[in-house]
Structure 1
Amino acid sequence: MKTYEKGSKKLINAWSFYDWANSVYSLVISTAIFPIYYSTVTQNLENADGKIMFLGSEWYSTTLLNYTIGFYMLVVAIISPILSGIADYTGNKLGFLKRFCLLGSLSVMGLFFFKEETLWLGIVLTITAGIGFWGSIVFYNAYLPEVAHPEQQDKVSAKGFIFGYVGSVILLIICLVLIEGNEMFGIDKGLATQLSFILVGLWWLGFAQITYRRLPNNIHQRKPEKDYIWKGFKELKNVAKEVANYPQLKTFLFSFFFFSVSAQTIIYMAGIFGSDELGLPTLNLIVTILLVQLVAVVGAYLFSRLSDKIGNLSTLKITLAIWTLVCFIAFFIDKSQENVAIYFYALGGLLGLVLGAIQSLSRSTYSKLLPETEDTTTYFSFYDVTEKLAIVVGMLVFGLLIALTGGSMQWSVLSLGVFFVIAFIILSTIKKTKYVR
């Protein structure tokens, strides 16, 4: 296989193209079409108390989804450090990336069979699809220090997210045409939605092949011994000790944890908030989500340029302030207000401005804080585990507050603003370095 020099345009584009491939899961499955489809299916299963039966217990449908997401995030948080240690020891990042991608894409396609009578299947496949997606991200992110030099990493990280936003918007529009124009295709909306899940899986798996063809594997020419699983554990243990010795890196992970609690929960819950809390029609919700994605492309680019001028830390603090504002505004929006759809659109535009920025800048900032190392996968596993544990906490808090307030999401949204404030305070304590200022 042809090898490409670190920092080369072809290698960077190949790496970025995995964002193009996998971001359709983030948009169509995590944020847009699947949550709305899930809400529609479960509404038909609700009893007089507005709850559904699952595993012999009564649940609010949103709380069940929160806990499902939290469960698979916990699974990824447990297994990814172990697998990353093995991947670094064996030099086989690419192999793990491929396996998780295959699991995720096939699981998404399997959601075609999720209906009222197969709620259990929908829950199981939501779990396996999430494990596949987030598991692959661990190994994908770990390639960033190997494909780009430190001075390139802000722009390269942003480029990946921009690729992802553009690709996912294209497929979402295709799915939207299929769903809203279902009569033209001679099918009902339910089937059209189910077919969109197949399109997502095929898109993800198909375009990932472009990345596979150019990414390097085992660049340090490691030759693992037979007991590579035990050696992988030792690799993980060694890196854990090293992380503890880098206070800047450790402090950033704490801040990253708190703002990920809120940012990732908002990404997952935005569609359901608009549907269940504000009572907005499906088309309005998807249009808003499209707006968020399009503005996110501009936001990722603008904030990457801003970080060149004022530094990563200052730019991240600006995004956190805007995220906090989004939470407090959302708390005061109510379905009884006039023009609630317009307020939701405006909020979506503000959210989009900082969505790509916080994701791309947090990834590149962490990469810049890393020491010179061959164990990039293991180091990035700590980054990804921090994010997964944050999502677990976010989903538990969000779902618990819904249960305690009788199904309302208002206080859940407000609580997310508090996490952003904590993250801002912690981030302010980080000292500047050569590449992070």
Structure 2
Amino acid sequence: MGGLSRRGYRVIAGPPPDREPPPRVAPAVAWCLYDWANSAFPTVIATFVFSAYFTKAVAETPEQGTTLWAWATALSGLLIAVLSPTLGAIADRGRQRKPWLAGFSILTIVASGLLYFVAPDPAFALLGLALVVIANTGFEVGIVFYNALLPAVAPERWLGRISGWGWGLGYAGGLAGLVIALFLFVQADPPPFGLDPGPGALEPIRATCLLVAVWYAAFAWPLFVWVPDRAPDESGPAVRLPALAAARQGLATLWITLKALPNSDPNLLRFLIARMLYTDGLNTLFAFGGIYAAGTFGMGFDQIVLFGIAMNVAAGLGAAAFAWVDDGIGSRTTVILGLIGLTGFGIGILLVEDVTWFWILGLSMSVFFGPVQAPSRTLMARLAPPETRAEMFGLFALSGRITAFLGPLVLGWVVAVTDSQRLGMASILVFLVPGLLLMLTVRDRPAAGPA
């Protein structure tokens, strides 16, 4: 069983990491493939296609659309912040994460498909925003249980590589989804299936939401067949309770954990606060990247999709390459390097006005997306006690969502006041820079060994 050292680090009993066998192929591939499956949602719907469609074609003006999208994203962030740690604690008690992941995956798939019915008319704005809130909440809460399954497929010394490869495959999945969306729907002439491309319908653009739903369902199922629900180091029987009793116990456990964390593991607390800040900046960047490209640089739907394809190529290469760096120099250092890259190139994007420089700096910045996200997940997997893993990943999600409404809210407020998307995007630095500075105080966990 695992324990806590005096420094608050988890020490794993068993063979040293260099003697651990490699992960089993089928569970590891199935786990990574889920990243391929669900990445179509953030790339096609949340970032590049539907978000731009909403601001340019559904809302009355791009500025109004940006503000409405910001409010919807903020509301989703609040829901995620409330649900993630509570449901994570409940799942830990029952030792079942896959049923929860399945439920939230289905919720995202259905809501994504229904976005097809949001026509290019301001009368459909409320329907579109409601479905986006539902789909995004389901997506993000599901990630809590997906992340908690990582130690079930990867031994200690492989955590960084499997996590990074999953993230890289996710970028590849987002890339493939964007390519299909571009050539099958956005640029198709004539459009397939008799879709009406006229400005009053824009059905090929809307059909990309159906593509996301089918893509998600088609590639997610192997996880539910081959990935085990428990990691080898998890002990103790499952506790089956009625939903309300489990919720009460989950909330009580969460409150006890939060109160004890400053004393029991201040290093983990600093990491969670740092992640809260820089993830808020990242999520805001992802949510408004396509909107910024369309509104500030005048990029059309086809150009935005092409830019998204190029970004996913660069981001996937960065995630895969830095997976080795993660296990080599440590998750903390990898995250810091990624944040430095994001901040530096992000400042450049805010200063340029030429679309060519936007492409150059945007693609350079995207290389550092994975080196921030995947090593954060790896570090959490290494720090989390096995018996409360989903709860800890609930806190991990909470750290990325408890203030998630602030990023979009601040951006939307700045755009509403200044009527400038550029100044609104600059507010992201308010979250990235403090997150980087606090991350400098976090210690990586030493290599595990016999207790």
Structure 1 partner of 2:436: 424
Indicate how the Cα distance of structure 1 residues 7 and 234 shifts in structure 2: closer, same or farther if over 3 A, else same: farther
Aligned partner letter, 2:124 = T
Contact 1:323 1:417 in 2 (8 A): no
| Structure 1 CA distance for aligned equivalents of residues 36 and 257 of structure 2 | 31
Deviation at 1:215, TM superposition (A): 2.1
What is the SS of the residue equivalent to 1:391? coil
Aligned partner letter, 1:259 = Y
| Structure 1 CA distance for aligned equivalents of residues 260 and 32 of structure 2 | 29
Are 1:17 and 2:33 an aligned pair? yes
Aligned with residue 373 of structure 1, among 386, 389, 395: 386
Are 1:36 and 2:25 an aligned pair? no
Are 1:329 and 2:330 an aligned pair? no
Are 1:188 and 2:196 an aligned pair? yes
Deviation at 1:95, TM superposition (A): 0.9
Are 1:66 and 2:79 an aligned pair? no
Aligned partner letter, 1:426 = L
Indicate how the Cα distance of structure 1 residues 182 and 92 shifts in structure 2: closer, same or farther if over 3 A, else same: farther
Q: Larger deviation: 156-165 or 236-245?
A: 236-245
Aligned partner letter, 1:287 = L
What is the SS of the residue equivalent to 1:203? helix
Aligned with residue 8 of structure 1, among 11, 14, 24: 24
Q: Which residues in structure 2 correspond to 1:358-437 (within 5 Å)? A: 358-370=372-384, 372-405=385-418, 407-435=419-447
Deviation at 1:346, TM superposition (A): 0.5
Aligned partner letter, 1:266 = L
The runs of 5 or more residues in structure 1 that have no matched partner are: 52-59, 335-339
Aligned partner letter, 1:303 = F
Structure 2 partner of 1:54: none
Indicate how the Cα distance of structure 1 residues 309 and 95 shifts in structure 2: closer, same or farther if over 3 A, else same: closer
Aligned partner letter, 1:363 = R
| Structure 1 CA distance for aligned equivalents of residues 108 and 189 of structure 2 | 26
Contact 1:260 1:390 in 2 (8 A): no
Deviation at 1:389, TM superposition (A): 2.4
Structure 1 partner of 2:250: 232
Are 1:169 and 2:175 an aligned pair? yes
- Post-superposition CA distance 1:364-416 (Å, at most 9, x none): 1122222x3312110100010111124211111111111121x2022222232
| Structure 1 CA distance for aligned equivalents of residues 386 and 324 of structure 2 | 27
- Post-superposition CA distance 1:110-142 (Å, at most 9, x none): 001101132221111011101110111111111
Contact 1:6 1:146 in 2 (8 A): no
Indicate how the Cα distance of structure 1 residues 139 and 432 shifts in structure 2: closer, same or farther if over 3 A, else same: closer
Are 1:93 and 2:107 an aligned pair? no
What is the SS of the residue equivalent to 1:68? helix
- Post-superposition CA distance 1:140-163 (Å, at most 9, x none): 111112221221111111111111
Aligned partner letter, 2:392 = Y
Contact 1:6 1:147 in 2 (8 A): no
The runs of 5 or more residues in structure 2 that have no matched partner are: 1-20
Contact 1:330 1:413 in 2 (8 A): no
Indicate how the Cα distance of structure 1 residues 432 and 72 shifts in structure 2: closer, same or farther if over 3 A, else same: closer
Structure 1 partner of 2:6: none
| Structure 1 CA distance for aligned equivalents of residues 388 and 327 of structure 2 | 27
- Post-superposition CA distance 1:289-332 (Å, at most 9, x none): 11110011110122222233432222221111111112211221
Aligned partner letter, 1:344 = F
| Structure 2 CA distance for aligned equivalents of residues 342 and 395 of structure 1 | 27
Contact 2:175 2:308 in 1 (8 A): no
Structure 2 partner of 1:142: 148
Contact 1:86 1:235 in 2 (8 A): no
Structure 2 partner of 1:337: none
Indicate how the Cα distance of structure 1 residues 309 and 210 shifts in structure 2: closer, same or farther if over 3 A, else same: closer
Deviation at 1:241, TM superposition (A): 4.2
Given the two structures, how large is their TM-score scaled by the length of structure 1? 0.89
Contact 1:256 1:386 in 2 (8 A): yes
| Structure 2 CA distance for aligned equivalents of residues 85 and 152 of structure 1 | 26
What is the SS of the residue equivalent to 1:367? helix
Structure 1 partner of 2:213: 201
| Structure 2 CA distance for aligned equivalents of residues 229 and 283 of structure 1 | 46
| Structure 1 CA distance for aligned equivalents of residues 414 and 373 of structure 2 | 26
Contact 1:248 1:369 in 2 (8 A): no
- Post-superposition CA distance 1:274-299 (Å, at most 9, x none): 11112122222211111110011110
Identity %: 25
**Number of paired residues?**
413
